[in-house]
């Protein structure tokens, strides 16, 4: 883990790099409530193109709700979301996918009855075009398309080192691998912005190291912007370029990992305040 962490520290030690980056996603004054329960109150932050942006906070802080707002699963009552410079209207999750936003889930949400390969191929459904009659005949357009997408999927399988479980139904895989397949499925969507909801929850140290490596590789090799929710502070502080901290649905801090770490509000939120 240490080698790439040092690498990362070097790249983020260069502050001027951030300033020329364009804003990929801008969240402005977003509020979301379910009846009387306020999940998110007046939150604003931005995600720059190419960065790893962490969203942290204690349980119930509204982190997952925030991701759900970003990918169109929840619709905020107030506030605007600007995606690639354009103000985004109310969209459906599948529209978010075609705009380039993919995500993984806190509780693994794979298609349990399908093989690893099929799960990842399902991530490319929106890109496949051959109509139902070509699909019926198979030979010709449907097969060409299938093979073309299979090649892309195989690249991702190689990248995430899951060749051996290609044909295994995902329901039979151990938890760590399921998380990896889920990442593969999200990558198959070739997203601009990848939302990772606790990618390392419930993993052992070795699996966490692997996952961290993959996240950094995805970010650096594919140039994918990543927004990540994670509870492991070591991982968050090492991986992310910038961190936004939520507590009770409000933003309490935003900045570089070392700034956030030193912020008194953040320390209070995590450790509590003496009364």
Partner 1 sequence: MIFRTAGQFKTSYEADQALFPIKQDFYLVLGVLLLAYVVFPLTASEFAFKALLVPVLIYSLAALGLNILTGYCGQLSLGTAAFMGVGAYATYKFMSIFPEMNIFVAIFLSGFFSAAVGVAFGLPSLRIKGFYLAIATLAAQFFLVWLFEKWAWLYNYNASGAIEVSTSSVFGITVTGPTALPIVQYYCVLIVVTLVTWFAINLTRGRYGRMWKATRDMDIAAELVGIKLITAKLTAFAVSSYIVGIAGGLLVFFWKGAAEPNLFDIPLSFQILFIAIIGGLGSILGNYLGAILIVALPVVLNLLPNALGIPIDSATLEHLNVMIVGALIIAFLILEPHGLARFYAIIREKLILWPFPY
CB of 40 to partner 1, least distance (A): 19
Sign of CA dihedral 207, 203, 194, 220: negative
CB atoms within 10 A of CB 254: 18
CB of 135 to partner 1, least distance (A): 5
CB of 107 to partner 1, least distance (A): 10
In the bound state with partner 1, the residue whose beta carbon lies nearer, of 8 and 180, is: 180
- Chain position carrying tokens 């260069």: 14
Residues whose CB is less than 8 angstroms from the CB of residue 156 and which lie 6 or more positions away in sequence, other chains included: 120, 184, 187, 188
In the bound state with partner 1, the residue whose beta carbon lies nearer, of 26 and 68, is: 68
In the bound state with partner 1, the residue whose beta carbon lies nearer, of 11 and 125, is: 125
In the bound state with partner 1, the residue whose beta carbon lies nearer, of 183 and 236, is: 183
DSSP state of 126: G
Helix, coil or strand: residue 41: strand
In the bound state with partner 1, the residue whose beta carbon lies nearer, of 48 and 110, is: 110
CB atoms within 10 A of CB 181: 25
In the bound state with partner 1, the residue whose beta carbon lies nearer, of 165 and 235, is: 165
CB of 128 to partner 1, least distance (A): 5
By C-alpha distance, which of 32, 76, 74, 69 is closest to 47? 69
CB of 251 to partner 1, least distance (A): 25
By C-alpha distance, which of 110, 106, 63, 107 is closest to 198? 106
Contact residues toward partner 1 (CB under 8 A) are: 71, 73, 92-94, 97-98, 102-103, 105, 109-114, 118, 121-123, 125-126, 128, 130, 132, 135-138, 142-143, 145-147, 150-151, 154, 185-186, 189
Cα(85)–Cα(87) distance, integer angstroms: 7
CB of 48 to partner 1, least distance (A): 24
DSSP state of 54: E
Cα(43)–Cα(26) distance, integer angstroms: 11
């Amino acid at each position: 883990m240490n080698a790439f962490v040092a690498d990362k520290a070097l790249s983020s030690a260069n502050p001027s790099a951030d300033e020329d980056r364009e804003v990929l996603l801008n969240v402005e004054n977003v509020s979301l409530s379910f009846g009387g329960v306020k999940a998110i109150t007046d939150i604003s932050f931005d995600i720059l193109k190419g960065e790893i942006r962490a969203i942290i906070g204690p349980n119930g802080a509204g982190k997952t709700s925030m991701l759900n707002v970003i990918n169109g699963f929840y619709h905020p009552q107030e506030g605007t979301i600007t995606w690639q410079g354009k103000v985004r209207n109310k969209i459906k999750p599948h529209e978010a996918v075609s705009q380039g936003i993919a995500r993984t889930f806190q509780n693994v949400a794979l298609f349990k009855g399908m093989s690893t390969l099929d799960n990842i191929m399902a991530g490319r459904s929106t890109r496949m075009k051959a109509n139902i009659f070509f699909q019926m005949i198979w030979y010709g357009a449907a097969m060409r398309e299938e093979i073309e997408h299979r090649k892309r999927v195989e690249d991702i399988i190689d990248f995430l080192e899951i060749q051996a479980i290609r044909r295994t139904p995902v329901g039979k895989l151990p938890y760590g691998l399921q998380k990896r397949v889920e990442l593969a499925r999200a990558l198959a969507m070739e997203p601009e912005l990848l939302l990772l909801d606790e990618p390392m929850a419930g993993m052992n140290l070795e699996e966490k190291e692997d996952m961290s490596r993959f996240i950094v590789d995805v970010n650096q090799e594919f140039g994918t912007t990543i927004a990540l929710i994670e509870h492991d502070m070591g991982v968050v502080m090492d991986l992310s370029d910038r961190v936004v901290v939520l507590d009770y649905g409000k933003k309490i801090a935003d900045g570089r990992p070392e700034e956030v770490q030193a912020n008194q509000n953040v320390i209070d939120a995590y450790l509590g305040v003496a009364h």
